[in-house]
Each structure stands twice: as structure tokens, then as C-alpha cells.
Amino acid sequence: MGVKASERLRTTLCGIALKNPVLAASGTFAYGVEFEKILDLNAMGGFVVKGLSREPMDGNPPPRVWEAEAGMMNSIGLQNIGVRAFVAEKLPALRKFDTAVFANVFGYAMEDYTEVVRVLEDHEGLAGYELNVSCPNTKHGGIFFSSDAGLLGELVAAVKKVAKRPVIVKLSPNVTKIEPLALAAEQAGADAVSLVNTLVSLAIDIRTRKPRLGAGFGGLSGPAIKPVALRMVCEAARAVKIPVIGLGGIGSGEDAAEFLIAGASAVEVGTATFWDPCSPLRIAGELDQFLREEKIGNVRELVGTLDWKR
């Protein structure tokens, strides 16, 4: 009798049991409950809710999304209902699902992050946290948490003092070298890192000579950034011992397999959900088919198996 699909895909992340290693990424899956009638949330490996801040945020002026040649640009501006509204209105509904739910957390000062996590710690229903560190620290002259290893380490250490659940740090690709940032997160106590976030980008309307997005610059995601994301995931996985979660342009099971081979223990699917809301489940199914064809008993056997020899 062959290995069942559920056994092939079953894995763990930071001690959390996952039905499969394919999660829906933050910012592309709303608060999760909105997808309840579209796909079986209980069959998912997990999902990350959109970023939560201390207070509600309206986000950036429109237009907020632009379809690029091989992906998508967005400048949503981290619009969200705020952490207190989330625990009151969204989290109770999420508790009924048998899947790992992670809260994405962001802020513009360290106390923003710690306060959001402190509020979330008082409520059941979450598996862990993912810190979006691609924000400028307004108390440090606008230095981005994601680009300064020392600042990043301080932030992670501060959050770890408050958090009892696992803490994942979502790293930005807008840096010269990813390894020092991944190492800083690990040394400060991060339980895992996820990468990459979007690439800073610009699209221009040549008729009006104005930016395509209301805020000017935006974040590029989708297939266009996959080779960059794959390289950075590989570099990070070789630099740290904690789990790495890969994301950036994943639209098929084969894409997911590439990230796993590069060293990721799990993956997140983002932009693909805009054109296929069921893509996390489809990609997990395609990944399982690949494992079956390759006679691989469990997905963990694929992780970090990149062969550099020619």
C-alpha cells in the first residue's frame, strides 16, 4: 500500500503540526474568515492574517494595485481594523477552524509591536506571530527595521519577552545581503524567518507622467520576483539553523518544491490567490503529486537538498 497524500505532506513548523507546508501569505488572504465559502480552510496547511497594528489604519490613497508584466504592484498601506477589533470581531470565528493561524504584526516603533503581541497573547486561537519588519522606525530617524541588523535584533528580542507563541520574522529583499539580517533575527530568539516581502518598485503612466499607484512607489510581488526570492531563501537557509519559510512568486507545486529544495521548511502563497483564491490547496495538491512521482515518502525529505555539483 502506498503512502497517503496526508502522510506525504504532513510536517511541523516551530513545533506546530501542519497538514501540509503550504500557507496563505499575509496581505493576500484578508483575515481568513472571508475565504470560508470559497475553500476548505480546515484542509490548509495554515494562513497568515493581514497585518495588525495597535490602532486601525485607513491605508494609502488609491489606486492601490497595478498589474505588472509578470506580477503585481501594491500600495495598500497596511490598512487594517486594528488588533483590538481583530480579537473581538475576527479571532472568535477563526477558533473553529482546525488549521494553523498566524497573526502578522507591524508597527513604527518597538512598543507598537510589543503592544499588539501583548493584546494577542491574552486570546486563544493563534499558532504564532509573523513580524513584518519592512517598516521605518520613526523613533530612529526612519531607519527600516528590516535593513539594520542591530535594530532588527532589538525588535525581535523585545517581542520575544512578550510572546509565548512562536515568532516568525518576515524579512525584506530590499537589502544588500540577507544573511546578516537572518542571523540577527536568529540570535535575538526568532523561531523562524520568512522571506521575501515585496520589492520596492515604480510604475509610470506616460500620458499623465504620474505614478500608477496613488502613493507613488509600491511593492512588487508575483512570478517576476521568484528567482530573487529563491536565491535569498537559499542564502538565508544556509546561514541559520532555525526554519525558513519561502515566499515570492509561488504559483504551482513545482514552484513550492523549488523553495523547499533551496532550504525552506514551508512556503507561503500570496499573489496567486488574487487570480486563484484556492491556490494554496491546489499548490499543495500539485506538490503531493510531485512527491508521489518522485517516490518521496514525506515532504521533509525534500528540504535543503539542492545539489550544487554540475
Domain range list for the chain: 5-59+78-199+224-302
Cell of 49: 492574517
What's the rounded mean pLDDT across residues 140-150?
Answer: 87
- Report whether CATH 3.40.1260.10 matches the domain 5-59+78-199+224-302: no
Predicted local confidence at residue 1, as pLDDT: 39
What's the rounded mean pLDDT across residues 116-127?
Answer: 97
The pLDDT tens digits of the residues spanning 148-193 come to 999 999 999 999 999 999 999 999 999 999 999 999 999 999 999 9
The confidence band for 296, taking pLDDT boundaries of 50, 70 and 90, is very high
The percent of residues in the chain predicted with pLDDT above 90, rounded, is: 92
The percent of residues in the chain predicted with pLDDT above 70, rounded, is: 98
The pLDDT tens digits of the residues spanning 80-117 come to 999 999 999 999 999 999 999 999 999 999 999 999 99
CA 84 to chain centre: 22
Cell of 28: 493576500
Mean pLDDT score of the chain: 95
Tell me the catalytic residues: 135
What's the rounded mean pLDDT across residues 195-204?
Answer: 96
